[in-house]
Structure formats: structure tokens, C-alpha cells
Amino acid sequence: MNRMNIEEYKGVFIYAEQVDGVITNISFELLGKAKELASKLDTDVTAVLIGSEIEGLANSLAEYGADKVIVVDDKELKDYRTEPYAHALSSVINEFKPDIVLVGATAIGRDLGPRVSARVKTGLTADCTVLEIGDFPLVAIPNQEQKHNQLLMTRPAFGGNTIATIACPDNRPQMATVRPGVMQKIERIKDAKAEIISFNPGFTPDNKYTEILEIVKEVSNVADIQDADILVSCGRGVGSAENFKLLEDFANAIGGTVSCSRAVVDNGWKPKELQVGQTGKTVRPKVYFAIGISGAIQHTAGMEESDLIIAINKDETAPIFDVADYGIVGDLNKILPSLTAKVNEAKAK
Amino acid sequence: MNIVVCIKQVPDTKGGVKFKPDGTLDRGAMLTIMNPDDKAGLEAALRLKDEYGAKVTAITMGLPKAEEVLREAMAMGADEGILVTDRRLGGADTWATSSTIAAAIKNLEYDLIITGRQAIDGDTAQVGPQISEHLDIPVISYAQEIKIDGDYVIVNRQFEDRHHVLKAKMPALVTALSELNDPRYMTPGGIFDAYDSEITVWSRDDLKELDDANIGLAGSPTKIAKASDKVKKGAGEVVSFESGEEAAAFIADKLIEKHII
């Protein structure tokens, strides 16, 4: 790799993802983490906002912790397309030289991040769940320089079976995509203001600019399972779409939201937005009910951080019992109606 | 039309994950498969071949053993298999991997490059978009449908709450989701033919447009500081009841105890 003058790179930047003029929740989560990292590095937090007619969104980024907001506003940026967005973000990086750049590991972020990291010639760690400032190597090794104030990026790999901590010691910026739902946003500071910097690198469409022929929004009334405090999650063991009635009754009684495993989505019983797991969403509610879910690692990777996990399964050898705080071996068809009644009873008191 | 499909041999997590006594992954004891998203990408290429006519080349980088996935690709219908293997390329992160594969692809004719969205071992989803950047061509990620219209590829791309229908000028790179299709099986005749045909093997020296600064462990900007097994949360209490009533009472008591109801 070409040596970079690392001293020139300063500040913690986040990519503030917006879709249809609405800032995505992950952007606020990134700001929360960025603020913590910046205070350890004695620097500030900058949000990079890219889109068309989006300047009005800068204030909310300030309210969640951005000291500065760099706005790239151009009509070419109306809807997300890889090339103009990659041009915008990499131009910001080349101009402002941040030490750290965090991007949400959303569909957009996981498309944009690698294209930008390849263009600015730096490392990118995917789908991180823990970010800290520390030394690399972690422990000093004779005859090798130990670098301080490095971004240590921890992420699950191998379907969640291994955890790796990764550093990017010789290239800048240190880039990471961050898994949604893991970092905490700060308490909103009402009317906080940030320094707004307009920056437009210019856009010249060429054959790398894709053309959007159609955008089909899958309109759904489905709740965002990442926001739920209580999730009542169902798996293949629920058996049929009809049995979901029992589950929904229970969810209604306890004030929970229904979610599901991949098998349920594959069977067409529930929409993909409700899927928890490696290829679905990561959740950490206060209570997670795993009902008729065997607990494959691809599923548990998305829910094992839940505060309390209660599993109901007929099969006493189901791996879900390895992560459950309370595992109940039994038939959900018999347990759920009775449980719903007891919850209603307790709530009526 | 020339289609290049990038495939990776990965351990099969479905067969269970095996650990060595020292707690590291026992890759040797695990079955290997063609990465599922890549297989969907290959199937998509073969369908384009069936419909429009195309030469499909499968390429992989890995240990000599990775030749197996190329044989499989050819038994499914790929026309050619290229194995990039060299100890100097080992230990690569996504930057070095994508630089190397892009250099290999520069030796080939290509209109369309298809990769999987992500490999199930690394889970990064970075190599496809990074190859497109090194080749300076458009990229469309998360394809759930791929069509050809003259010099253009038309892709239905999936996002969380919507999908976009996008049109890109070829040459272009598309990353495929495993939901894209159900890959075909190998045919017995195809298997025999695949084992009779030559696999092209390239070493570092065959990749002309590649800087030594961008390969292998040394050419990787990211470095592993630490890798370990995931610390499993201790198993909780597992109980079994005769009746649904008793089980429900147990759960309700716990919920009351924790102030949830």
C-alpha cells in the first residue's frame, strides 16, 4: 500500500443516510458512537449529508450530536445511485481528510462503503458491532511499532461464530460499516446547532451513472421490529399460518410485536421485514419470545443480545435453549392460549 | 456476450461448525460448498446464456482445492474455469482480494461480471463493489432479477423497503442475492465433461496489471488484531411441564417477577 501522511487526517465523520428526505435511524446511532470516539480522540463529529434539497435535515443531525454537517446537495443525488453518491462521499473524504468514517450497514451503506473505500484506497471493516479506540497491536511486540489511538473494529464473521477485532493502522480514513440497532443514540439536545458546510464536487454523468427506470415501494403497515420492546417471534414450529392467530393474540395481550425466523419468510407466512437473523434484522428488545424456533446460528446472531429470552419449543435438544434465559419444553398450542389468559388476568389487576 | 462469474469456496455452515480443541475453527473438518449467493449468480449467468447466448467463465481465487467449485460450475454449464492460486496472494483482505480478482478479469473479455452479494464466511459484501471500482465500471448490488437489453443490463435491485429497476451500460458488475433463483443441478454428463476439461490456472505472474503493493497480507490495509470464538451466553434454565397450564403459569410468574406484566 502507498504510505499516507496519517497526521493530516482528523475528526470522526459519519455518513448520514437519508431516503426520501428522511434521515435513517442508523445515522443517529452512528452519531452517538462517533461522539464517544471523538471525545477519546479529543476531536469533533461531522455528519456528511448527501442528497437533493436536503439542507433542512442538518438540524436534526446537530440535535443528535453532530458538531459540523457537510452538505452535498445536487439534483443528481435525488435518489440513491452508487456512482454519484460514491463520488460525493469520496470527494468529501479527499477534501476534508477524516481520521474515521462510519457508515450504516444498511443496503445503501453496504453498497456505498466498499465502492468509496476502494476509491480512496483504504480499509473497510464490515458490519461492526463494537468500536473502540486502542492500541495496535493490542499488546506491544518487540521490534514492531505499537500505534496508539487506533480504531479497533469488532465484528462477527462466519455467521456469528467468530468475533474478529480489526485495525487499519497504515491507511486513512479508518472506515467501518456499522450494524443497525447496535449503537445507542444520545438523548436529543433540542435546538442544538451545528456548523453547516456546503460542499459540491460537481457531477458529470457518464456511463457509470445508472438510470433508475422504476422505484417500487413495498408499502407495508409492518412495524419496525428494531424499535419494539417486546418481540413475539415465531419459527417453523408454529406450523401453519392459522396457528399464528394464537401468537398474535399473545402478542396483543402482552403489547409485543410479532417477528419471525427465516423459515417463516421462506414459507410465505410473514413478510421479510419481520425477519430476525443474519440475513434479516438484528434486534435487542427487553424481552424476546422465541416460539417454535429451533435456534440456528443464523437466527441467534440477530437476537442473542436481547435482555431476556424466553423460548418455547417441543424439542428439548433445540439449540435455542442454549441462548434462552428460560427454556420451556412443550407444545405451544397448549401453552399459548393459557399464557394469553394469564397475561390478560395479570394486566387487569 | 461474455459473462464472468466470480465464485468462492466456503465452509458449509449448515453442516454445523466444528472447532479444534484450542477453540479455533476446524475448517478441515467442515464440508466446503460453492458460496450460495455465488451459485445464484452463476445460475443467473447460465439463464442469460440459455436466453441470449453467452460464454460463461467462472473464476475463483483460493487454495488449489478450490478447483472443486470450478468443476461444479462447469458441470452446471459454465464454459470455462479459471483458478487464481499463489501463496503470495494469501491472507488478503477485501481490498487485496478485489485488486487481485480485478487484475485477473483484465486478462479476459467481459461484458457482464456477476458476483454473489456476500460470502457466508467473511460476510463483508465488499469484494463485488470493490472489483467494479478497480475496473472503473458501474455496479448494481443485490440483484433479484437480471435482464439484458442490447448494450444494457437491467436489474431489479432489492432494498429494505423498496426495489429499484436500474439500467446500466455494459460492461457492468452485478451482485446477486441467493433469493434470485433456484440453481440448477449438475448433470451426470456435465460432471464427466467437467472433469475432462482443462481448468486454467493462473499464478501471481499471470496477473500483469497488479501492483505488488496491493496483494496478499502485506497489501491489505486491514489487519486482524484478535480473533476468537464468540463467547456464548450461559444457558439459562430449561424446564419441562406436563400441562400447558403449568408451563404458562411458570412463564407468567417470571414475567411478573421481572415487572414485564
Closest CA to A34 of A111, A128, A114, A136: A128
Q: Read off the pTM.
A: 0.83
pLDDT of A255 higher than 80 = yes
Contacts of B256 in chain A (CB under 8 A): 346
- In the prediction, which pLDDT does B30 show? 79
Contacts of B232 in chain A (CB under 8 A): 322-323
Laid out side by side, the sheet with B223-229 consists of: A130-136, A147-157, A162-167, B223-229
Test B141 with A168 for CB contact under 8 angstroms. no
- In the prediction, which pLDDT does B20 show? 64
Contacts of A278 in chain B (CB under 8 A): 123
- In the prediction, which pLDDT does A147 show? 95
- In the prediction, which pLDDT does A284 show? 84
**Mean of all residue pLDDT scores within chain A:** 92
- In the prediction, which pLDDT does A157 show? 78
Q: Flag whether residue B149 sits within 8 Å of chain A, measured between CB atoms.
A: no
pLDDT digits (tens, 9 = 90+) for A122-156: 999 999 999 999 999 999 999 889 999 999 999 98
Interface mutation vs chain B, best among A26, A93, A128, A207, most B CBs within 10 Å: A207
Angle at B87 (CA atoms; ends B82, B93), nearest 5 degrees: 85
Nearest residue in chain B measured CA to CA from A300 = B232
Strands (E), chain A: 12-16, 18-19, 22-23, 45-51, 68-73, 100-104, 124-128, 130-136, 147-157, 162-167, 174-178, 195-198, 211-217, 230-234, 257-260, 287-291, 308-313, 326-329
As beta bridge partners, residue A104 has A178
Q: Flag whether residue B203 sits within 8 Å of chain A, measured between CB atoms.
A: no
User: Mean pLDDT in each 10-residue stretch from start to end of chain B (261 residues)?
Assistant: 97 68 66 94 97 97 95 97 96 95 98 95 93 98 95 93 93 93 92 92 96 94 84 75 91 88 82
Rg (CA), chain A: 23
One-letter amino acid identity for B81? G
- Grid cell listed for B150: 442490447
pLDDT of A1 higher than 60 = no
Test A166 with B222 for CB contact under 8 angstroms. yes
Quote ipTM for the complex.
0.88
**Contact call for residues A11 and A96 (beta carbons, < 8 A):** yes
Confidence at A222, pLDDT banded by 50, 70, 90: low
CA distance B117 to chain A (A): 10
As beta bridge partners, residue A112 has none
Q: Flag whether residue B16 sits within 8 Å of chain A, measured between CB atoms.
A: no
Question: Coil, strand, or helix at residue B258?
Answer: coil
- In the prediction, which pLDDT does B131 show? 98
Contacts of B260 in chain A (CB under 8 A): 230, 254, 286-287, 308
- In the prediction, which pLDDT does B17 show? 64
How many whole angstroms separate alpha carbon B155 and alpha carbon A210? 10
Across residues A36-65, what is the average pLDDT?
A: 96
Q: Flag whether residue A83 sits within 8 Å of chain B, measured between CB atoms.
A: yes
How many whole angstroms separate alpha carbon A132 and alpha carbon A150? 8
- In the prediction, which pLDDT does A160 show? 67
CA distance B192 to chain A (A): 33
CA distance A190 to chain B (A): 30
How many whole angstroms separate alpha carbon A117 and alpha carbon B135? 14
Nearest residue in chain A measured CA to CA from B256 = A346
The CA distances from residue B14 to A269, A311, B31, B245, in Å, are: 23, 22, 9, 36
pLDDT digits (tens, 9 = 90+) for A78-134: 999 999 999 999 999 999 999 999 999 999 999 999 999 999 999 999 999 999 999
Give percent of chain A above pLDDT 90: 77
As beta bridge partners, residue A47 has A14, A69
**Contact call for residues A208 and A84 (beta carbons, < 8 A):** no
- In the prediction, which pLDDT does A195 show? 97
CA distance A172 to chain B (A): 9
